[in-house]
Amino acid sequence: MPMLPASAALAWKAGALFAATGTMAGALGAHALAPRLGEKAATWTMASHYAIMNGIGLLAISQHPVYSKRLAGPLIIAGTTLFSGSIFALLLYREKMGSFARVVGPTTPIGGLLMIGGYLSLLF
C-alpha cells in the first residue's frame, strides 16, 4: 500500500478495525449472547452490520486521491463509534447504566446523522 496522508491512514486503520470488530461482535451476538439478548438480537446484528459496512466504506474512501480534502472519514468514524458503540453498550449494560443510559441512548441517532453527513460530504 502506498504512503497515505495521516487522515487517510487513520480512515484505513479505523475501517479495518470497524470491519473486524463488527464481524467479531456479530459472531458474539449470534453465539454467546443470543440467549441474553433474546428479541434484541436483531438490534445487535444491525449494529454489527453498520460497523462492518462503514468499515468497508472507510477502507474504500481512504484510497481516494482527494480524500484529504474530505470530512467523510472523521464523520464516519465518529458516527460509527457513537451509533454502533451506543447500541452495543445499551444492550450489554442497560441495567447497570441507570440514568447514564439516558445520556448514551441519544448518541445513537446522532451517530447515524454523522455517518450520513460523512457520506454526503463525498458529493462536494
Over residues 75-105, the pLDDT tens digits come to 999 999 999 999 999 998 877 777 777 888 8
Domain residue spans of the chain: 6-123
pLDDT digits (tens, 9 = 90+) for 22-76: 999 999 999 999 999 999 999 999 999 999 999 999 999 988 877 655 788 999 9
Give the pLDDT score at 8. Answer: 85
More confident residue, 5 or 35: 35
Predicted structure pTM score: 0.89
Tell me which long-range contacts 61-68 makes (C-beta under 8 A, separation of at least 24). 61/11, 61/122, 62/4, 62/8, 62/9, 62/11, 62/12, 62/15, 63/8, 63/12, 67/5, 67/7, 67/8, 67/11, 68/5, 68/7, 68/8
